[in-house]
Amino acid sequence: MGLTFVGILAFVALDVLIGLLAISTESSVGIGVAAVILALGTFGTGVALVRRREAWSKGLGIGLMLGWALVSIFSAGFCTGLNPGLYP
């Protein structure tokens, strides 16, 4: 259970890092690439960790995927690149 929260916090840190890099490009293509990297990286890593079938890896993998979902919901998709208003 505790590693789920660690996974959520790890995603938020990764989101901030990739988001700052995407914003520095000042283009909608950079933001789109960052959104794809975040989604594929998060869900690819999350599924791989859950499939290991160890307690710590399941919690961390589920936490990463929950982090992506929660950040998407609470930021209306701005922080994960889902909001169509980001792409002119």
pLDDT along the chain (88 residues), means of 10: 91 89 83 90 94 92 94 89 79
Question: What's the confidence (pLDDT) of residue 60?
Answer: 94
Question: What's the confidence (pLDDT) of residue 77?
Answer: 85
What span, in angstroms and rounded, lies between the C-alpha atoms of 23 and 1?
Answer: 33
- In the numeric block, the tokens 């794809």 are attached to 36
Question: What's the confidence (pLDDT) of residue 47?
Answer: 96
pTM: 0.86
Question: What's the confidence (pLDDT) of residue 82?
Answer: 83
What span, in angstroms and rounded, lies between the C-alpha atoms of 64 and 12?
Answer: 9
